Amino acid sequence: MSSSRPLDIWVQKWFTLVVLALLLVLAAQMFFSARLESQTFDEPAHLYAGYSYWLRSDFGINPEHPPLVKLVASLPLLVERPKYPEPTNFYFRADSVFGGIQLMNMPAADTRLARARMAVSVFIFLLALLVVLASREMFDQKTALFALALFVFDPMLLANGPLLGTDVGGACFIFATVYAFYRYVKRPSLARLGIVALAAGLALAAKHSSILVLPILIFLAAIEVVIWQPGGEATMSRSAQGRRRIALRLCAALVVIAAVSVTILWAFYGFRYAARPGGGQIVPPTAEFLKTLNHPVEAHVIGFAMRHHLLPEAYLYGFTDITILSREGRPMFLFGKLYPAGRWFYFPAAFLIKSTIGFLLLLALLSFARVVWRSESRREILFLLVPAVVYFGSAMTSKLNIGIRHVLPVMPFLIVLAAAGAISLARRSRVWTWAVSIILAFHIASSLRAFPDYLPYSNEIFGGVDNTHRVLADANVGWEGGLKALHAYIEKKQIRQCWFAYSGPPNPVAFQIPCRQLPTWLTLYVDHGPFGPVPETIEGPVFLSSYEVSGSTWGSDEMNPYEPFVPMQPAHVVAGEILEYDGPFPVTKVAAASENIVALTLLNQHNIDQAVIHAEKAVALDPGSLAAHETLATAYAAHHQPDDALREYHTAQHLYATVHPDFQGIEDPPQNPLHPSPQ
């Protein structure tokens, strides 16, 4: 192309300035979107856990995730020094949840969260720089700028970059490890090998699924041996010797990487096996928790590591937890249907929904790009393609399908690959240059159109931000972070009476939301103020979290009291995740659920007479409710009505066995209140 030379000169002259400008754009988008978002579901737990690590070295708090990201996120707390909420020591998930709620209920919670988000944003900026460096070294400066433009306007990265989660940290160090290994195999040295080992150690300390970086390096090393070509006119004998020499060097390098990275992981746990200081135990104890992993191979491997203290206890506890979740799964919502557990097609479908059409087009055009097929680019293409395929393929075998964030580590690899293909096509002709430029512009425009609601982003084919809740749920839609947006909407509309179903940790009252509460599964465990029975008919507006409407915590169809709202068109969608409906509405099943919650509360208060009355109302309103019959059985048993208790228990058993038996994994079987199982 005749114009390529002046463009090359311009890129070379202004490269650093353009990179800085794009990073400023990234910072502005994340800052202005995150400041409009209230705390999402997992953030308080992560913040409290990191604070516990700094103050108490208590790695039994939130062992579900390794410490690195939480330590960085909680660094600002060491300056502020808020009062430390003592752990409950009741159940390992409850410790971080309740501690996080208490921490965020203290004064200046919004400032505390903002500072923590600023601290944890270091990972997204480091990842952006790594994408630039890798793109430039593997290809050229044009590719680096194109890749950074894709990165800066990618909705998935913008959504998760400023949040207190482990996904971006894991993605950052997985990419760093592979890129460092690429540099090592090109020009081996002890310094480069040390960088690979350091990056791998940080990856292990960031997220449990980052352990996949080790088999990824093994695959890449094997491929390097296979594609190695001797220089000059070497004989077959010399070629075989050279290949063996490369194989031995890479095997030795992998041993060093594994040893150093595991040592770094131990360092993050203070080189202490015990999860909790002073002989404290996680609840349930580690050995007991391992028994719940009903998969012999994984249980044997983890058990062996526990018995010989090969890895820290908290790390192995969390690895057990993530293995159980990956094997057994949680309810999965996709294309308007709720599945009892994940399916292999979830992540491919979610990727198509959550990626911009422009980015998908660039990936589709890769097969036409010469750079993909050139022998001199073979190593670069494989180092980008293999990690993405291995990680994505592994994710497809998991049944824990609750968010596209779980495959975020594939994004930097695909972004660099897409950029290399785009620049390769642009060099072919002016027509391709225009085509690639238009696709990039469409990618940017689609992302900007979603601002500031990046979490619920979906591309135009699936209707955009306001319609994502129809096809996906959970962290793909909002992660219960829309309280600030709802407050702004209510103030704008001057709404003073409303209803609200919301399953996030914060109390909506703290955000000046005047709505009366509707029942959710979290109402039982989080104090959101007084909760009373809901009438059988309610007036609007009714605000429902998309999480409640999807039924993820209730179950499918008639198991979900909010199922009647599913076919309705919301009057308005707030921040992509809170659906507004204008009444009046008959909500018999919702009223039954509220009576059930009131009955359980009264049982905990030992007010047995009133508990029986409300439990009977719940059953009368919704005879098909398993939970209502189980509560009534418990109330009758406490009221010394054994025959009635046994009748309700048998009814609950029948419902458990016959109403959507494929969803039995959502909750435990009913317990006989006359002969309760030992806890």
Q: What confidence tens digit (pLDDT) does each residue in 516-570 have?
A: 989 887 776 555 456 788 999 998 899 999 888 887 777 777 788 998 888 889 9
Nearest-CA neighbor of 422 among 335, 340, 363, 482?
A: 363
pLDDT score at 230: 66
pLDDT score at 668: 75
User: Tokens 């009252």 correspond to what residue?
Assistant: 509
Same domain for 569 and 532?
A: yes
Same domain for 77 and 171?
A: no
* 222 within 8 A of 181, measured Cβ to Cβ: no
pLDDT score at 645: 94
Domain boundary pick from 415, 443, 471: 443
Please determine, for residue 397, whether its predicted confidence score (pLDDT) is greater than 60: yes
Please determine, for residue 237, whether its predicted confidence score (pLDDT) is greater than 60: no
Domain boundary pick from 61, 90, 120: 120
Residues 502-520: b if buried by 16+ CB within 10 A, e if exposed: bbbbbbbeebebebebbbb
Indicate whether 301 belongs to any domain: no
Q: Within 10 A of 595 (CB to CB), how many other CB atoms are there?
A: 27
If you average pLDDT over residues 450-478, what whole number do you get? 93
If you average pLDDT over residues 477-484, what whole number do you get? 87
- pLDDT tens figures, 647-672: 999 999 998 888 778 777 667 788 88
pLDDT score at 2: 43
Measured distance CA(129)–CA(111) in Å, rounded: 28
Same domain for 562 and 657?
A: no
Indicate whether 298 belongs to any domain: no
CATH number (domain holding residue 637):
1.25.40.10
Q: Which two tokens stand for residue 30?
A: 């994340």
Same domain for 160 and 245?
A: yes
- pLDDT tens figures, 298-312: 999 999 999 999 999
Q: How many structural domains comprise the chain? A: 4
Same domain for 203 and 64?
A: no
- pLDDT tens figures, 326-366: 988 888 899 988 888 889 999 999 999 999 999 999 999 99
Same domain for 128 and 264?
A: yes
Indicate whether 68 belongs to any domain: yes
Indicate whether 309 belongs to any domain: no
| Residue spans of alpha helices (H) in 336-406 | 346-354, 357-364, 370-373, 378-396
Query: Sorting pLDDT into bands at 50, 70 and 90, what band is 238?
Result: low
Q: Which two tokens stand for residue 94?
A: 């409850």
User: Tokens 């992660």 correspond to what residue?
Assistant: 479
Same domain for 165 and 265?
A: yes
Please determine, for residue 220, whether its predicted confidence score (pLDDT) is greater than 70: yes
Entry pTM: 0.93
Same domain for 258 and 405?
A: yes
Q: Within 10 A of 349 (CB to CB), how many other CB atoms are there?
A: 16
Indicate whether 200 belongs to any domain: yes
Indicate whether 455 belongs to any domain: no
Q: Assign 500 to helix, strand or coil.
A: strand
pLDDT score at 552: 77
If you average pLDDT over residues 601-622, what whole number do you get? 93
Written as one string, the DSSP assignment of 323-338 is: HHHHHH---EEETTEE
- pLDDT tens figures, 617-640: 999 999 988 889 999 999 999 999
Please determine, for residue 1, whether its predicted confidence score (pLDDT) is greater than 50: no
Same domain for 143 and 267?
A: yes
Residues in the chain, overall count: 679
Measured distance CA(261)–CA(220) in Å, rounded: 18
User: Tokens 């609601």 correspond to what residue?
Assistant: 453
If you average pLDDT over residues 392-413, what whole number do you get? 94
pLDDT score at 360: 98
Domain boundary pick from 421, 443, 465: 443
Indicate whether 302 belongs to any domain: no
Same domain for 132 and 162?
A: yes
Nearest-CA neighbor of 64 among 104, 97, 109?
A: 97
Same domain for 399 and 424?
A: yes
State how beta strands 516-517 and 537-538 pair: unpaired
Number of H helices, E strands in the chain: 28, 9
pLDDT score at 401: 86
Indicate whether 322 belongs to any domain: no
Measured distance CA(453)–CA(466) in Å, rounded: 10
* 601 within 8 A of 525, measured Cβ to Cβ: no
Same domain for 81 and 225?
A: no
Please determine, for residue 678, whether its predicted confidence score (pLDDT) is greater than 90: no
Mean pLDDT over each residue of the chain, to the nearest integer: 91
If you average pLDDT over residues 108-122, what whole number do you get? 95
- pLDDT tens figures, 247-292: 999 999 999 999 999 999 999 999 999 999 988 899 999 999 999 9
Measured distance CA(279)–CA(286) in Å, rounded: 13
Domain, as residue range, for 484: 480-586
Please determine, for residue 193, whether its predicted confidence score (pLDDT) is greater than 50: yes
pLDDT score at 235: 56
Please determine, for residue 4, whether its predicted confidence score (pLDDT) is greater than 70: no
Please determine, for residue 600, whether its predicted confidence score (pLDDT) is greater than 70: yes
Nearest-CA neighbor of 159 among 45, 36, 268, 68?
A: 36
